[in-house]
């Protein structure tokens, strides 16, 4: 068997841990040597002396220095440079190097710029200055000075528009890296840019800071999730297809004269747009963006907008200004902006973070291998002070500088609860009405489960004093309860024929993540109720796959039934862009693309031309518009203080749900997920605001109803006289 010396890690200031394969016994001190340069250090103890093992600890007499390079020689296995690893978690390291300043990055002061970077394990840091963000060599290179807490700094005679990188020497070697705190960048994010952010503000930007969505609770939010290219690539009249600026265009129509783009969103009635990741990511060439497609879950520079959506990716300030113009335009339309953020992993493990402080920002398992609970091979370590601080600094920066109205956290369950509490406080200090939510899946990781910000633990987040909510989690119980498991294309749910067995999961969502129906609960309806998102099959494709033998009319009814249930539920209402117009993703080979993260524009882009009076897509859109109008018109559906009861009717899958606001107001929702019509008799004076084919803010009948016929796969919504007339 080949002998491998895989790691020599500095675990504190006097101990080095080594990892080898196959396991071996160390029987004498001469088998191990530790050097600093040519100087041999004194070994006091070896923990596995005389025992076969794959790991061992070497105690050194001298005090180790994290910025120096040491070598371990192991007889039969060769040499390995020592890299700081577990030492990062010692009290001595934290006390010596944790930095709480707010001045990292490139900060313009008059005619100079001060550069600061945290690199405690570096023996040398060189600042490289460039005139261009994409070509040429550095016009100046200068060694930076190391100060307290491991922060290196230099003040240079340069300003806005100067591009820069750092060349950092550590025990791993010498590597060039982009500043993690860079707020602007050149082409493909390979160089940071010094930026005077005031020069990136569009006209009227200061007034935009006063924008408010005016929602009173998370349950008032109705979110439409979209990818920037998907939004506009197929709008023939758009001058900015696939760009930030497509959101600034008004008056756009499709080939049938129907409103598209932002005008469409205004008519639809949503409160927020959630953008798939738009921070600088690695897998699309900004110089030739149409040659590739990607959702963007591969972050490169966290504080920089991606240049592929800019009209000029070569100029670092343009993408910032155009991003701001996009936010400004959506705000002018009365729509809030939520940004999808991906702090749980980077594009690859050798990111700028890792080049500057190797091994600090990532998690490793007991054998020294990188943790991959994210599935990306490089889980970040939010529990470490400087990465947790980076997340708080970064989210606060985006919220304040770009006037955002919320953040969606990818794989949030991998982050630690303490850091997410600090994020919540920072975000809601800036904007108390901001929405914060994420994927709270419980996943394998190298931190204790009780410390994770997952579905089970998120109720421990304490909202900032003036915030309208804390942190919400996506509710997969109602998602899979309604339509069937996302991991099984043909599985069915409550709306598609599974029967009463799925009703507890559905009721759990209607109650805002409370009661039975899932293995977890939340407080104050901190859930995101949904049926479809960017990943997995679209809702329409899922219904086709799970109910192939049903008619199109049946599947349309199932879709409407699911949407009705979401719109009467506590918590955030969320849906994938185009769900309301039967969005589909055929892959061209007779199948449906369930993971189109790097598929073509043809698969991913929204086809706006399906909207024409009388088409199924148009009719579904009208139903969603009516449901949104209904939800917005009656507080009883968004009041977190209501009492909700629900039960199946007889020995069937049919069910009734009663919402009581304790002040005489009551709503009754009757669900009929069967293939037969159902006659329902009301127990008092109610008005019909949804009959399974249409919905809205007014009574659909001439007066109060007594008997209501509920079509197959449909729902009715009744409100009493004390609810009507909000």
For residue 132, what are the contacts with CB-CB under 8 A and spacing of at least 6? 163, 186
- CA-based torsion, 528, 477, 512, 691: positive or negative: positive
What pairs with residue 146 in β-bridges? Answer: 152
Counting runs of H as helices and runs of E as strands, what totals does the chain give?
A: 14, 34
Is 439 known to be catalytic? yes
Nearest to 329 by CA among 416, 257, 266: 266
Q: Residues for the chain: how many in total? A: 726
Considering all CA atoms of the chain, what is the largest pairwise distance in Å, rounded to the nearest integer?
96
Q: Which two tokens stand for residue 618?
A: 């148009």
> Which entry of 317, 439, 617, 691 is annotated as an active-site residue?
439
Tokens 């980076």 sit at which residue?
A: 390
User: What DSSP line would sit under 302-371, residue for residue?
Assistant: EEEE-GGGSS-TTSHHHHHHHHHHHHHHHHHTT-EEEEEE--SB-SSSS-HHHHHSTTTSB-B-TTSPBP
Determine what percent of the chain falls in helix, strand and coil, rounding each to the nearest 5: 25, 30, 45
Query: How deeply is 2 buried, as exposed, middle or buried, from its count of CB atoms within 10 A (0-12, 13-18, 19+)?
Result: exposed
User: What DSSP line would sit under 140-153, residue for residue?
Assistant: EEEEPEE-GGGEEE
Nearest to 431 by CA among 393, 460, 404: 404
Specify whether the CB–CB gap between 40 and 34 falls below 8 A.
Answer: yes
- CA-based torsion, 47, 49, 53, 54: positive or negative: positive
Specify whether the CB–CB gap between 123 and 111 falls below 8 A.
Answer: no
Cβ count within 10 A of residue 723: 23
Is 92 known to be catalytic? no
What pairs with residue 116 in β-bridges? Answer: 105, 153
Give how far the C-alpha of residue 162 lies from the chain's centroid of Cα atoms, to the nearest Å: 31
- CA-based torsion, 392, 393, 394, 397: positive or negative: positive
What's the rounded Cα separation, in Å, for the pair 243 and 440? 30
Q: Which two tokens stand for residue 264?
A: 């469409």
Cβ count within 10 A of residue 210: 8
Q: CA gyration radius for the chain? A: 28
Nearest to 115 by CA among 149, 148, 142: 142
- CA-based torsion, 360, 363, 365, 369: positive or negative: negative
- CA-based torsion, 289, 290, 291, 294: positive or negative: positive
User: What DSSP line would sit under 411-476, residue for residue?
Assistant: TGGGSBHHHHHHHHHHHHHH-TT-EEEE-------SS-GGGB-STTTGGGPPPPTT-S---EEE-H
What's the rounded Cα separation, in Å, for the pair 134 and 256? 43
Specify whether the CB–CB gap between 585 and 596 falls below 8 A.
Answer: yes
Specify whether the CB–CB gap between 608 and 257 falls below 8 A.
Answer: no
Q: Which helix (H) or strand (E) holds 146?
A: strand 145-146
Nearest to 699 by CA among 682, 674, 675: 682
- CA-based torsion, 424, 425, 430, 431: positive or negative: positive
What's the rounded Cα separation, in Å, for the pair 65 and 73? 18
> Which entry of 17, 230, 249, 410 is annotated as an active-site residue?
410
Where in the sequence numbering do the catalytic residues fall?
Answer: 410, 439
């Amino acid at each position: 068997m080949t002998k491998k010396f895989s790691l020599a890690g500095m675990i504190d200031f006097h101990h080095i841990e080594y990892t080898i394969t196959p396991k071996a016994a160390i029987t004498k001190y001469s088998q191990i040597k530790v050097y600093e340069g040519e100087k041999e250090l004194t070994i006091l103890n070896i923990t596995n002396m005389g025992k076969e093992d794959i790991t061992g600890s070497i105690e050194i007499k001298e005090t180790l220095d994290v910025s120096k390079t040491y070598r371990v020689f192991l007889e039969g296995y060769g040499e390995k440079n020592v890299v700081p690893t577990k030492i990062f978690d010692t009290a001595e390291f934290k006390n010596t190097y944790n930095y709480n300043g707010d001045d990292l990055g490139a900060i313009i002061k008059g005619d100079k710029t001060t550069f600061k970077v945290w690199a405690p394990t570096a023996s040398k840091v060189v600042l490289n200055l460039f005139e261009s963000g994409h070509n040429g060599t550095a016009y100046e290179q200068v060694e930076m000075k190391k100060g307290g807490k491991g922060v290196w700094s230099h003040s240079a005679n340069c300003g806005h528009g100067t591009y820069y990188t750092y060349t950092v020497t550590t025990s791993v070697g010498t590597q060039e890296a982009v500043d993690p705190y860079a707020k602007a960048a050149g082409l493909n994010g390979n160089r940071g840019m010094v930026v005077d952010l005031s020069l990136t503000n569009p006209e009227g930007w200061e007034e935009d800071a006063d924008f408010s969505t005016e929602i009173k609770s998370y349950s008032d939010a109705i979110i439409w999730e979209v990818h920037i290219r998907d939004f506009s690539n197929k709008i023939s009249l758009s001058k900015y297809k696939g760009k930030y600026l497509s959101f600034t265009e008004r008056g756009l129509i499709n080939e049938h004269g129907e409103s598209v783009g932002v005008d469409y969103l205004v008519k639809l009635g949503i409160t927020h747009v959630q953008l798939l990741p738009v921070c600088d990511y690695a897998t699309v060439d900004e110089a030739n963006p149409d040659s590739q497609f990607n959702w963007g879950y591969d972050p490169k520079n966290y504080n920089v907008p991606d240049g592929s959506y800019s009209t000029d990716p070569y100029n670092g300030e343009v993408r910032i200004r155009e991003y701001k113009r996009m936010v400004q335009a959506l705000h002018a339309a009365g729509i809030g902006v939520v940004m999808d953020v991906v702090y749980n992993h980077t594009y690859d493990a050798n990111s700028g973070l890792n080049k500057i402080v190797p091994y600090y920002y990532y998690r490793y398992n007991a054998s020294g291998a990188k943790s991959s609970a994210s599935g990306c091979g490089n889980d970040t370590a939010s529990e470490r002070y400087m990465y947790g601080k980076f997340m708080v600094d970064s989210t606060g920066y985006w919220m304040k500088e770009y006037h955002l109205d919320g953040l969606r956290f990818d794989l949030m369950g991998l982050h630690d609860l303490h850091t997410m509490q600090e994020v919540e406080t920072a975000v809601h200090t800036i904007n108390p009405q901001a929405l914060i939510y994420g994927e709270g899946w419980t996943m394998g990781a190298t931190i204790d489960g009780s410390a994770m910000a997952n579905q089970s633990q998120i109720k421990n987040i304490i909202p900032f004093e003036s915030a309208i909510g804390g942190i919400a989690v996506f509710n997969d119980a109602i998602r899979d309860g309604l339509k069937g498991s996302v991991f099984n294309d043909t599985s069915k749910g409550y709306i598609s024929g599974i029967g009463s067995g799925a009703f507890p999961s559905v009721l759990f969502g209607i109650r805002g993540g409370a009661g039975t129906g899932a293995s977890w609960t939340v407080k104050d309806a901190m859930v995101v109720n949904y049926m479809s998102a960017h990943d997995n099959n679209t809702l329409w494709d899922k219904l086709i796959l799970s109910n192939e033998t049903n008619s199109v009319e049946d599947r349309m009814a199932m879709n409407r039934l699911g949407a009705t249930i979401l719109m009467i539920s506590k918590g955030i209402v969320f849906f994938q862009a185009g769900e309301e117009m039967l969005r589909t993703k055929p892959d061209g080979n007779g199948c449906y693309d369930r993971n189109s993260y790097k598929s073509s524009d043809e698969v991913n882009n929204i086809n706006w031309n399906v909207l024409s009076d009388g088409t199924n897509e148009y009719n579904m859109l009208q139903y969603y518009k009516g449901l949104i109008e209904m939800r917005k018109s009656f507080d009883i559906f968004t009041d977190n203080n209501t009492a909700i009861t629900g039960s199946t009717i007889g020995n069937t899958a049919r069910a009734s749900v009663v919402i009581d606001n304790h002040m005489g107001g009551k709503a009754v929702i009757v669900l009929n997920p069967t293939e037969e019509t159902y006659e329902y008799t009301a127990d008092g004076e109610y008005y019909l605001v949804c009959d399974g084919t249409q919905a809205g803010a007014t009574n659909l009948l001439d007066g109060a109803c007594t008997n209501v016929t509920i079509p197959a796969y449909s729902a009715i919504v009744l409100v009493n006289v004390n609810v009507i007339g909000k």
